[in-house]
């Protein structure tokens, strides 16, 4: 029925050319679908890659992206009968961005819902860096012997419907069939498939009936959920504040580097470099060229880009701070 795309406010750094996240323009895609009388909102996104878990310099960006996606989902799906959010989130179930999806936007994880014991043990459903995948690197096999689960299908039901996952699997075989002439995996990530059952609330009530303690159980679950959400948002706020400190440090670093590059560029015009040697002239020209590029780039980073990053993080911090301190937090 309708589609749109929203690019994330933060998408990595422009000087990380070899990674490409900044230039990919990652964001949140959404389609509104009419399916057998039900209105579905289907979201898909690809969060910033982790690259190095022990020194994750992009955690703040993923927290920001997760919060942005969660807010979009929460604020645009009130009229949907079923909301589905799927994609490569580059975050494991123990990470903060995952908790944001589960608590802020109140999404259920299909795999976790159907495999609670495996999830509690931290295994099962691995979709990336699996040992049998032909694209898995040697260092990934060492760091993640069983692989890791970073691809998800999440969902939530609308105000007049009830939904539940009845199946969640990794449907594709380990290898492309030999008839295609290639003994490789379909992708570096395993595919995820889920079946979700949706029904009207009136129909569900008529089938199950109203138990006398339903309201009590609901209130207890809501209290437990609200506490989990509060803990998640508090942790997110701390991570965003840490990212803000890093941005301020980066701005100072790039400003100092810009000043140094400019000083060296001006110093290259001193009488010391006035010689009749063609080799020296060529070398000085090359050094000046590099210094000009360095000055322009560091000036750009210290002003425009880092300022943009700082403002985006400030906006996220304000949103999270409101969630933490709102007196009507339980109703958000």
- Mean pLDDT in residue range 306-317: 90
Other C-beta atoms closer than 10 Å to the C-beta of 269 total 11
Amino acid 227: pLDDT: 83
3-state secondary structure of 37: coil
Where residue 219 falls among pLDDT bands split at 50, 70, 90? low
pLDDT tens, residue by residue, 150-195: 999 999 999 999 999 999 999 999 999 877 777 899 999 999 999 9
The CA distance from 87 to 150, in Å, is: 9
pLDDT tens, residue by residue, 47-82: 999 998 888 999 999 999 999 999 999 999 988 999
Q: Which two tokens stand for residue 169?
A: 């699997």
Task: Give me the helices (H) in the chain, please.
Answer: 21-24, 59-76, 96-103, 110-114, 116-120, 138-143, 201-208, 214-267, 278-300, 306-325
Enter the CATH code of domain 2-209. 3.60.10.10
Percent over 70 (pLDDT), the chain? 89
pLDDT tens, residue by residue, 16-31: 888 889 998 899 999 9
The CA distance from 71 to 39, in Å, is: 20
Amino acid 71: pLDDT: 94
The CA distance from 118 to 116, in Å, is: 6
Amino acid 273: pLDDT: 62
Concerning whether 41 is annotated as a catalytic residue, the answer is: no
Q: Is the pLDDT of residue 238 over 90?
A: yes
Average pLDDT, the chain: 88
The CA distance from 36 to 173, in Å, is: 31
Task: Decide: 166 and 195 in contact? Cβ < 8 Å.
Answer: yes
The CA distance from 102 to 106, in Å, is: 5
Q: Is the pLDDT of residue 264 over 70?
A: yes
Q: Which two tokens stand for residue 187?
A: 């992708």
Residue boundaries of the structural domains of the chain = 2-209, 241-331
Task: Decide: 12 and 61 in contact? Cβ < 8 Å.
Answer: yes
Where residue 282 falls among pLDDT bands split at 50, 70, 90? confident
Amino acid 213: pLDDT: 54
Percent over 90 (pLDDT), the chain? 65
Of 145-149, 199-203, 248-252, where does mean pLDDT reach its minimum? Answer: 199-203
- Mean pLDDT in residue range 292-310: 91
Amino acid 203: pLDDT: 66
The CA distance from 271 to 168, in Å, is: 73
Which of 210 and 54 is assigned the larger pLDDT? Answer: 54
Q: Which two tokens stand for residue 90?
A: 């580059």
3-state secondary structure of 278: helix
Q: Is the pLDDT of residue 328 over 70?
A: no
Task: Decide: 62 and 100 in contact? Cβ < 8 Å.
Answer: no
Task: State the first-to-last Cα distance of the chain, in angstroms, to the nearest integer.
Answer: 28
Amino acid 202: pLDDT: 75
DSSP 187-200: -SB---EEEEEEEE
Q: Is the pLDDT of residue 255 over 50?
A: yes
Q: Which residue is catalytic, options 18, 189, 230, 325?
A: 189
């Amino acid at each position: 029925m309708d589609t749109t795309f929203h690019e994330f406010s933060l998408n990595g750094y422009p000087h990380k050319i070899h990674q490409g996240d900044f230039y990919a323009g990652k964001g949140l895609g959404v389609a509104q679908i009419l399916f057998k009388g039900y209105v579905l909102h289907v979201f898909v996104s690809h969060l910033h890659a982790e690259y190095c878990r022990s020194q994750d310099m992009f955690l703040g960006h993923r927290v920001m992206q997760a919060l942005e996606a969660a807010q979009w989902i929460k604020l645009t799906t009130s009229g949907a009968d079923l909301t589905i959010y799927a994609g490569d989130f580059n975050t494991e179930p123990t990470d903060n961005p995952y908790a944001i999806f589960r608590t802020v936007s109140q999404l259920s994880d299909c795999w976790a819902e159907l495999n609670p014991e495996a999830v509690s043990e931290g295994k099962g459903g691995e979709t990336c860096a699996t040992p049998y995948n032909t694209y898995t690197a040697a260092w990934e096999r060492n760091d993640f012997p069983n692989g890791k689960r970073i691809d998800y299908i999440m969902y939530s039901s609308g105000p007049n419907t009830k939904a539940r996952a009845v199946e969640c699997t990794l449907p594709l075989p380990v290898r492309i069939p030999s008839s295609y002439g290639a003994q490789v995996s379909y992708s570096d990530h395993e595919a995820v498939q889920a079946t979700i059952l949706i029904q009207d609330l009136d129909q569900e009530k008529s089938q199950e009936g109203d138990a006398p303690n339903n309201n009590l159980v609901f209130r207890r679950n809501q209290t437990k959920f609200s506490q989990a959400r509060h803990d998640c948002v508090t942790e997110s706020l701390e991570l965003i504040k840490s990212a803000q400190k890093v941005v301020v440090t980066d701005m100072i670093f790039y400003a100092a580097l810009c000043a140094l590059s400019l000083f060296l560029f001006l110093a290259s015009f001193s009488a010391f470099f006035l010689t009749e040697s063609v080799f020296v002239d060529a070398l000085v020209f090359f050094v000046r060229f590099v210094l000009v590029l360095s000055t322009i780039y560091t000036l750009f980073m210290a002003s425009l880009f880092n300022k943009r990053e700082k403002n985006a993080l400030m906006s996220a911090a304000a949103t999270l701070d409101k969630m933490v301190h709102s007196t009507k937090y339980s109703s958000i």
